[in-house]
Structure 1
Amino acid sequence: MPDAASPQPGPHHPGPRASGDPRVAVVVITHRRREEVLVALERLRDLPEQPAVAVVDNGSDDGTAAAVAEQHPWALLVASPDNLGAPGRGVGVAALERTLDPPPEVIAFCDDDTWWEPGSLARVADLFAEHPALACVNARILVEPGAREDAIVAELRDSPVPGPPWLPGPALGSFLAGASAVRRSAFGEAGGFSRRLWLGGEEEIMGADLAAAGWELCYAADAVVHHEPSRRREWRRRRRDGVRNTLWFIWLRRPLPAALRRTRDVLASLPRDRTSVVGVARALAGLPWVVRERRVLPPPAEARFLALEDSQRRSTARHYG
């Protein structure tokens, strides 16, 4: 979790509002998408659950922080001078822990181009209350405009990952953070998102570490997140970092035979272009620390990722094209 040097809420902006459903709060991260995050906050403000919300501005230079402070004073604003990437979510969680008494046990994540459907936050809070060993719930994702199912939903629904019979939905090995909710205590136990990975596939190592600690992850079809993909996306950087982070995860957590096999499959799937080459080169540059911090998953957790290999090879939703 973030340390004492993490960005702090400004004195001009005390937030957040008291949560209508004290079991759940929301963390939003944003970077240079002022208009989009303002709309996202409108949608969160109007949810029937009336959740407390922390919004972490990841070093925007387009006036995002000032606009949020002016138009959404009910939300807790954390303005970081730097783009923290995915670890900004942990900064938001820590800010909520400091300002809410007691802090909610369920934290829903939301990007600036996603939003939770009314009633879905209450549903995931119910699931966590009913299942104490549940650490993460991935919602059903509908792409806007048109509310069509994201291609990844079929893979979540048909997940081959083994799980206990009590799970309220298919067991998962990983999750999509912008459409998921986590148990705050489990998130803290896992240490938040890796600062080294920054952004792009950062969920895989957290999912693995949660499983290694005995937690469960699942898909819940009756919780819904809408996603209207932003036009302001750094596609090359996201793909480059996604390649790097996938390879890092493989060598940080998978046993040698699986690591060799998955590396082969990932490299075979990459487009033959400069972005792929840079991603692989950056993965290789990180080998010293990867070897130093390598910690192979215990067999029950490894079984999840072993079960996923065939679907990962065939996936049309997860790719680097």
Structure 2
Amino acid sequence: MNASTHASGSQLVPRVTVVVLTRNHVRQTVDTVARLMALPEHPNVIVADNGSSDTTVSLLASLFPQLRIVQGLRDLGMTGFNRAVALAHTDYVACCDDSTWFAPGALARATQLLDAHPRIAVISACVADEAEREIHPACQMLSATSPGGNGLPGPALVNFMAGACIFRASVLSELHRYEERLSHGGAEELVALDLLAAGHLIVYCEGALAHREPLYRWFTRAQHCTLARNSAWVAWMRLPLRDALAATGRALAVFARQRSLGPAGFAMLRGAFWALRRRHVVPPHVVQLTRQVRRAEHHVRIGVPAMAEKYDRSGQSAW
């Protein structure tokens, strides 16, 4: 028996459920599910399907009769995680997409850390290619720009990688789920700020290793604009005026670079009224942490050009 299971009678009951988000990626999803089910931690696995029109659902059901599949009727983006996570009945929930899988022992390590540190709500995993020769640029940024300290097992974060993380299920159920209007970028930013405001911690952990193929992808023009717009909306919902204005300025700069200043700017303005109705500024210590990380990101991008080239200028990594 390891940290990721506990005994119930004569059976070992998993303490971790892995939720896999997918849409029309049948080959990758089958491969990822097979890898997860072969893990020594024997986690429960749930597939959250975002309205696939290929054979993803039927083939998974045929190959893995014990697998639980939550089907959506359309592409829900990150909010596709919501229903599946609500069905998990374990202490912890790990989330990944159909091209990402946790390495053997990673879930056990995450479970040990969450058991030992009750204030940690989320562990953001270290993501690398299968050969572990290259680390995802977002992870490099997280480890380089986030403060450590106070006996934590890794740097304290103001955000996390939604496609490679392990949640404390009880904390996740207390807070609202991923916001549908931010479903294609930025939903994790809002959740992260709310977690920090409630007194929880987010930590980056190299020992919680996840593999991804391909390691990163390049964003389309529309995706660049969506990420920047949503990040501005989150700032208007949770950060002081100074920070909200700065996020708006960064978004407008992205729109201009992507030659979409008019349409994207209008969409951001229209959604700003929705965001302002949900405005609740986080406590000063959270604001200070976000500013500290933002300043550090600026210096890291200047000092490490190769990393900056792989890191989207809107402030999001090409995940």
Superposition TM-score tier, normalisation by shorter sequence: 0.7 to 0.9
Deviation of 1:289 after TM superposition, in Å, equals 1.1
State the distance in 2 between where 1:276 and 1:111 align.
31
Q: Distance in 2 between matches of 1:28 and 1:76?
A: 11
1:173-192 equivalent positions in 2, closer than 5 A: 173-192=158-177
Q: Deviations over 1:45-64 (max 9, x none)?
A: 11111110110110111121
Alignment of 1:77 onto 2:57: no
Find the counterpart in structure 2 of residue 152 from structure 1: 138
State the 1:231 CA deviation: 9.6
Contact 2:136–2:215, Cα closer than 8 Å, also in 1? no
- Counterparts of 1:14-33 in structure 2 under 5 Å? 22-33=14-25
Greater shift, 67-76 or 145-154, is seen at 145-154
The alignment yields a C-alpha RMSD, in angstroms, of: 2.3
Deviation of residue 301 (structure 1)?
A: 1.4
- TM-score for the superposition, normalised by structure 1: 0.85
Structure-to-structure mapping, 1:139-288, within 5 angstroms: 139-144=125-130, 147-161=133-147, 165-229=150-214, 235-269=220-254, 272-275=257-260, 278-288=263-273
Q: CA deviation at 1:207?
A: 0.6
Q: Are residues 1:125 and 2:107 paired?
A: no
Range that drifts further, 82-91 or 105-114? 82-91
Amino acid at match of 1:202: A
Residue in structure 2 matched with residue 319 of structure 1 by the alignment: 313
Partner deviation per Cα, 1:258-313 (whole Å, 9 max, x = no partner): 22223223433556224565443322111221111111111121122111221343
Match of 2:28 in 1: 36
Alpha-carbon distance in 2 for matches of 1:295, 1:169 = 29
1-structure distance, mates of 2:151, 2:15: 22
Match of 1:60 in 2: 52
TM-score, structure 2 length as denominator?
0.85
Q: Percent identity?
A: 34
SS of structure 2 residue aligned to 1:199 = coil
1:300 aligned onto 2:265: no
In 2, the alpha carbon distance for the partners of 1:232 and 1:223 equals: 22
Q: Which runs of 5+ in 1 are unaligned?
A: 1-18, 97-102
The alpha-carbon distance between structure 1 residues 94 and 228, as it changes in their structure 2 partners (threshold 3 A), is same
8 Å CA contact retained: 2:129, 2:215: no
Preserved CA contact (<8 Å) 1:240 1:278: no
Question: Structure 1 residues 56, 127: closer, same or farther in 2, change over 3 A?
Answer: same
How far off is 1:237 after superposition? 4.1
Which stretch has the larger CA shift, 277-286 or 33-42? 277-286
